[in-house]
Structure 1
């Protein structure tokens, strides 16, 4: 049987590609040819994906990875001479990864995140006030989905929100799979320089924020501090913003589920988990590379072979999520891998959950007549980005 390639062409906006579903029905793991010709593996089954993410002999280092799909940006990021930028602990292995994770874990505890709830509510209500004042139709991404997590992470880190326009534009270049390599690298350089300058200013004038707290620990140099801050800034607004936008789109096309999220507070927490599972905005990976021969469910992954996980398909695996192709905000939805699993599980997942648990019901209750201002087919999808979602979501009420 010939190798497969990474499936990307979606036939419906909320579902994984039909090709990926067919592959999962055939087997949990498949031999795959990566964009640069490397022969590795594609994982479409839940148990295999969880095993790969938990296994200690898989590496997350970029210089060992291979691009799953063609694209100049991915190739530039994953060249053999690529090095993990200082502070980018997400792409480090142990023990380097643990050094950064230990410093940051205390900043993202459930208790500390819950302390942010009143401020998140204030920010959400202010966005809704702006929407009401503008009158429909508006772009929900611009007015609601992006400002909430962006404001929250800026305040948490101590990044001036007035500077958001430039770093949000540069972030788009970084996650756009069609960006030219030189444009993406220039954007990365601008954001890094911005964060480095901010770190230096906070050394002179510390405040009550995460960057100042990391400086006070005395364990990181300025380059590492800038890298950590950049990683948290990008992850902190790109991911939740796309979940708020795409999740609202999914609810607007499913009135019964929308009504439950709007009218029944008891389902909101579980509903957020279900939306995270059902939509799975991380649609190109994650990826790992075997450091030695590893056996996963009877398949031997040779040392040096790269493994790509197809999370949207994994999170619909009927062996773990019966009737998983149906959105049901009332069904127990725990156990999804949207935030990853193992040592690299998303550090900010509790913050993301709070933003969504507050954001969805606040929006739906403030505008009970919320509806699309265009046909569903006219909503532009982020198929060209490394994080899935909607580019814009025109709504009215």
Structure 2
């Protein structure tokens, strides 16, 4: 049996030997104790689930709630305040049906696969502009600053109709929201600052309609300014940091696996499956939490009503019962069933946009700079161990000048 009080930090840790691997302790738990008692940072007695099939079972079961006032967060500094208030109107990611269903239905019309694919040309243009800037600058450059960060930032700003000159405000706000070493109050204050800006933007769009996601919601729904401000803030956060880290950390992973990079360059049509494998292999989201609405048996363990259950995304995506030889990066691997975007009704709304951005940005980078390489030793790459979304703080790269 594991020490329940020692497990919360394990959720966001990575192996010391390899920055892409989750801790070996997660593999041991998955094999011997896939539903494990865990004492949360606020003293709550809950559970940790590490088995792939059981993770999907929890995420698909409507007896487990995603309501923020019912769930406890495992990491220190990441929990809700003592008041444990229900989610604000519009915060659909922290709601259950029917409220969640109402908001999700409105948003689905703005995030169709067809509409996201229509963005491919614009993403290609934004990508080319940043590759041109990198080429003019010359090596070395920080890929996070020059490439992986700006591309998703510009895309989400254009998607929502946010003036690009205001993007720095969102980056600053999200850096606070995503840190694990800030209090819930500090995180809430940063989020409120973002909402205040979004509220002003919504009012502008009511006066002057625009053809973008936020403008579409203003025109096609009866949502209030406050609801739209919350939705805009959520979409901004979800659409920026995760994709930026997948592009940067995916590049780092490919540079660290030259055989896989060579396979991708030799077979460009492999990119779609390569993106799915990078999502599975890296699993930059540590997990998500649900609260039992009634007594539920999962994996032979009784989860009591009111208890929180944390599901480990990295552990599930490295489960050998679902993905043979899971600790190997294999761009040709069948990847169906990975939970990098979650599972069930709360599966990531913007997953198609994230896929398109990765499918464009990663191969374009290596096409432009065939000799791309790390500019510092791997052990000097600063990993984001202090952030809710894992990745690299910076990625210095260089290439040969032609």
The interval holding the TM-score normalised by the smaller chain is over 0.9
CA distance in 2, matches of 1:305, 1:222: 34
1:62 aligned counterpart, secondary structure? coil
User: 221, 234, 237: which is aligned to 1:234?
Assistant: 237
- The reply on whether 1:142 has 2:148 as its aligned counterpart is no
Cα pair distance change 1:143/1:391, threshold 3 Å: same
- The reply on whether 1:202 has 2:202 as its aligned counterpart is no
2:109 aligned counterpart, secondary structure? helix
Cα pair distance change 1:182/1:299, threshold 3 Å: closer
CA distance in 1, matches of 2:41, 2:394: 29
CA distance in 1, matches of 2:304, 2:331: 40
Please give the root-mean-square deviation of Cα atoms over the aligned residues, in Å: 1.3
The alignment's TM-score, normalised by the length of structure 2, stands at: 0.95
Deviates more, 1:306-315 or 1:15-24: 15-24
2:86 aligned counterpart, secondary structure? coil
User: 24, 43, 49: which is aligned to 1:43?
Assistant: 49
User: 122, 131, 134: which is aligned to 2:134?
Assistant: 131
> For residues 173-212 of structure 1, what are the structure 2 equivalents within 5 Å?
173-212=176-215
Query: Could you list the per-position Cα deviations for residues 256-315 of structure 1 after superposition, in whole angstroms to 9, with x for gaps in the alignment?
Result: 1112223311211000000000000101x2000000111223222110010001111110
User: Who is 1:31 aligned against?
Assistant: 37
Does the CA-based 8 Å contact 2:75-2:180 persist in structure 1? no
Cα pair distance change 1:358/1:2, threshold 3 Å: closer
Query: Could you list the per-position Cα deviations for residues 224-258 of structure 1 after superposition, in whole angstroms to 9, with x for gaps in the alignment?
Result: 00011110011001110010011111111111111
> For residues 310-321 of structure 1, what are the structure 2 equivalents within 5 Å?
310-321=312-323
Does the CA-based 8 Å contact 2:293-2:305 persist in structure 1? yes
Does the CA-based 8 Å contact 2:67-2:94 persist in structure 1? yes
User: Who is 2:347 aligned against?
Assistant: 345
CA distance in 2, matches of 1:55, 1:182: 31
The alignment's TM-score, normalised by the length of structure 1, stands at: 0.96
CA distance in 1, matches of 2:62, 2:41: 26
User: 9, 16, 21: which is aligned to 2:13?
Assistant: 9
CA distance in 2, matches of 1:295, 1:146: 42
Unpaired runs of 5+ residues, structure 2, are none
2:69 aligned counterpart, secondary structure? helix
Number of aligned residues: 393
User: Who is 2:398 aligned against?
Assistant: 396
Does the CA-based 8 Å contact 1:64-1:80 persist in structure 2? no
CA distance in 2, matches of 1:143, 1:249: 15
Does the CA-based 8 Å contact 1:65-1:78 persist in structure 2? no
> For residues 1-397 of structure 1, what are the structure 2 equivalents within 5 Å?
1=1, 3-4=3-4, 5-6=7-8, 7=10, 8-10=12-14, 11=16, 12-71=18-77, 74-75=78-79, 77-283=80-286, 285-397=287-399
CA distance in 2, matches of 1:78, 1:125: 44
